[in-house]
Amino acid sequence: MATLQKIRSKGPLLVIILGLALFAFIAEEAMRSIQSASNESRQQVGEIYGEGVSVHEFQNLVDEYLDVIKFTSGNATFNDEQVAQIRDQVWNTYVNNQLIEKECEKLGLTVTDAEVQAIITTGNSPLLMQTPFRNEQTGRFDANLLKKFLADYESMKANLAQMPAEYIDYYQSLYNYWMFIEKSLRQDCLNQKYQTLLTKAVSTNKVATQVAFDNRTNESEIVVAALPYSTINDTEVTVEESELKAKFNEQKEAFKQLADSRDIKYIDIQVKASAEDKVALDKEMEEAAQALVAGGDIAKIVREYGSTIAYSAIPVSKNIFPTDISSKFDSLAAGEMKAPFFYAGDNTMNIIKMVGKVTAPDSVQIRQIQVTGADIAAINKTADSIMTALKNGIAFDSIAKKYNQTGEKTWITSRDYEGGYMNDENLKFIKTITSAPVNKIEKIDFAQGSIIAQVTDRRAMITKYDVAVIKRPIEFSKETYAKAYNDFSQFVASNPSLEDIELNAIKNGYNLLERKNMFSNEHTVAGVRGTRDVLRWIFNEDTEVGDISPLYECGDNDHMLIVILTGTHDAGYLKLNDVKEYLEQEVIKDKKAEMLKEKLANVKTVADAAKVEGVITDTIKHVTFSAPTFVVKTGSSEPLISAIAAKTEKGGVTVPVKGNGAVYIVEVLEKGKTAETFDAKKETTQQETLNLRGISRFINELYEKAEIEDNRYLFF
């Protein structure tokens, strides 16, 4: 009881303590939740309709598409620019699909499995024509070939232990490719449904098609008198702030952007080889030439002297070499050498030694049986058994089927192996099949097995070259780069503000350049590779106008870059000051147009107008309403002239009108019509196509409503 009473006496204190403990627990959980949400948001490449797109999800889509490209093109490697383009394509496709799916969900539009199957069965989709499942005779997609493959794929999965690794890889790659095509078919069908729904809302009619035909086929021959805006100096025109505001409001919708942008100024320097660097390279190339003359291990010499073109242990065709090299081959006899020479096209020094020339097939057709076993003895025993059976007349494909292989004939061309790395086993295989006569059966032994191969055909006998090439870029040395870095670093340190840099850049040999309205999805800054960190700095929320970036080393380790942030523009309408220069020019043009119209106010004909100082005349034929008129003498495209000419009778003369490049008076000399005849069906189709193009712009409206954020620059 005493203890209980003691506890009761401290009741209020305990309540406070328990309350604090409970608050601490809740706060801790809240912090964990906030940190978790923050971490999750930091792993998002963007947002669509407020829903985050994780970097993991996006990368999976990119990897999927990369695999598709690799499978269809045979290209296994991509440079940074190509990968960036692929990411852009994946992102744009993903966003568009999400936008349309959202609208279709509201409308109840879906694509059923039965509809997808009907598309596959019909086989008319362009997507299906990109697959390997085409009938060789008709060239069309064949659903039966697809069904056979899917059945073979399931059979392969059930017998993986008996299948060669390369077959498993191929079947899996082809299956993944088909899954991508099937997914794309479903999405394409949904998109078409939505577009069809929109198209039905905008139809054409007989009147509209006739008008469109007339606008295209009725033409005029005109003569124009033009008084260009350049005849009045800009300094003769004053612009008021109220006029700028009025022009801004007039064109406001043109100043709307869907994403944040930045204005920057920057200095980009590219380090180049010094005179001392060039002398050092000349010396090395002379040594390389002497080594090639002396003979020895050619591959080693080429490698040790740092050639960008590796020596091939087998003769190769000339088309794998750059043109500046291959163009010299035919003028060199075996054993001859072209000593060090400079090629400005890629800024290199070059040596060519023609070791020899042979005539060899560009393509060989082979069939093969792969032999595996528990050990070398077992492999040799099986291989010898196969060779004996073949010599005794047993059909090649029958033996292949016995070992769960097709033995089908396959063409191998020079481009399949030339120019790439080949290990000793690959080299052995290529040498054997390219030198073997037709129908001869060869047993080719490797470390892990053997191949029984037969060359069944050879085509396109061409000259191939055993040639050593040493190609060396004229590059800067470490010392040259260090000097350039130290000089630039000192300049940046001595000029801590934009005003200082603007004042002293040219004095120190640097060019300060400007870029306005830069967006984060541009991947590079100043067109220089490896500037992702610079892009992040520019769009970082902590970077303020006037800030100078760190000195970045970028490009192919040959560029140095500093950036100054000079302006920020949020998504939405730009501010008047952001487009002030453009607005000033527009207002000046308007005022000049009024001044020039006054000069031409009393003119009744083009001939009279030609007497006015500064007027130039130009005769233009085949002017139609459906296409803007290009006036050669003013160098400007003038849609208004097309409209005026179409509505003016023969012999008619217009009042002075404001164009893009001048104030014009238009006189119609002739009216005519092209020889084209009216085809109602054709015109209807053309109008529907134009309507569809117009409707396709709906994606911009959806994009704006979705409030899309693109933060890919933070990750890639």
The model's confidence at residue 12, banded by pLDDT at 50, 70 and 90, is very low
Residues in CB range of 626: below 8 A, 6 or more apart: 212, 215, 216, 642
Digit-coded pLDDT (tens) for 376-392: 888 888 888 888 888 88
Contact yes or no for 441/390 (Cβ under 8 A)? yes
| Locus of tokens 């409209």 | 643
The CA-atom distances, in angstroms, between 659 and each of 254, 535, 610 are 19, 40, 17
Residue 40: the pLDDT is 52
The CA-atom distances, in angstroms, between 102 and each of 95, 109, 364, 699 are 11, 10, 53, 12
Residue 696 has pLDDT above 60, yes or no: yes
Contact yes or no for 439/379 (Cβ under 8 A)? no
Contact yes or no for 674/219 (Cβ under 8 A)? yes
Distance between CA atoms of residues 487 and 499, nearest Å: 19
- Give the predicted TM-score (pTM) of the model: 0.70
Digit-coded pLDDT (tens) for 522-577: 999 999 999 999 999 999 999 999 999 999 999 999 999 999 999 999 988 999 99
Which residue pairs, CB below 8 angstroms and at least 24 apart, start in 609-618? 609/225, 609/227, 609/665, 610/225, 612/225, 612/227, 613/231, 614/227, 614/228, 614/231, 615/225, 615/226, 615/227, 616/225, 616/226, 616/228, 617/223, 617/224, 617/225, 617/226, 618/223, 618/224, 618/226
**Phi, psi angle pair for 51, to nearest 5°:** -100, 130
Residue 225 φ/ψ region, left for φ over 0, alpha for ψ in the -120 to 50 degree band, beta for the rest: beta
Residues in CB range of 663: below 8 A, 6 or more apart: 226, 227, 229, 593, 596, 597, 600, 656, 657
* DSSP run (H or E) holding 79: none
* DSSP run (H or E) holding 371: strand 348-371
Tokens of 111: 């694509």
Residue 467 has pLDDT above 50, yes or no: yes
DSSP letter at 311? P
Residues in CB range of 250: below 8 A, 6 or more apart: none
Identify how many contiguous H helices and E strands the chain contains and give both numbers: 24, 20
Residue 37 has pLDDT above 60, yes or no: no
- The partner residues of 442 in beta bridges, in order of sequence, read 453
Residue 30 has pLDDT above 80, yes or no: no
Digit-coded pLDDT (tens) for 484-511: 999 999 999 999 999 999 999 999 999 9
Residue 347: CB atoms within 10 A of its CB come to 12
Residue 460 has pLDDT above 60, yes or no: yes
The model's confidence at residue 5, banded by pLDDT at 50, 70 and 90, is very low
Three-state SS at 322: coil
Residue 7: the pLDDT is 34
The model's confidence at residue 41, banded by pLDDT at 50, 70 and 90, is low
Residues in CB range of 645: below 8 A, 6 or more apart: 220, 222, 623, 625, 629, 666, 668
